[in-house]
Amino acid sequence: MSDELTALRARVERLESREACVSTFNEYLHYLDGDYLEDLLQVFAPSAELNVMNFPPGSGKNLQFKGRDEIRPLYAEHRAGIGRHHSANVTVNVAADSSSAELSAYFITSGEFGFGGGVYQAELAPAQARWEFQKMYICSTWGWTVPTEAQPYLSEHLGEGALRGGKPIVYRRP
Q: How confident is the model at residue 150 (pLDDT cuts 50, 70, 90)?
A: low
Long-range contacts of 73-78 (CB under 8 A, 24+ apart): 74/50, 75/32, 75/37, 75/40, 75/41, 76/37, 78/32
Q: Is the pLDDT of residue 58 over 80?
A: no
Domain ranges of the chain: 2-147
Q: Specify whether the CB–CB gap between 92 and 74 falls below 8 A.
A: no
Is residue 61 predicted with pLDDT exceeding 80?
yes
- For residues 103 and 91, is the Cβ–Cβ distance under 8 A? yes
Given a cut of 60, whether residue 26 has pLDDT beyond it is yes
More confident residue, 161 or 54: 54
Average pLDDT, the chain: 86
What pTM was computed for the model? 0.84
Which CATH class, in words, describes the domain spanning 2-147?
A: alpha beta
**Residues 125-146: what's their mean pLDDT?**
88
pLDDT at 168: 75
What pLDDT band is residue 169 in, cutting at 50, 70 and 90? confident
Q: Would you call 150 helix, strand, or coil by DSSP?
A: coil
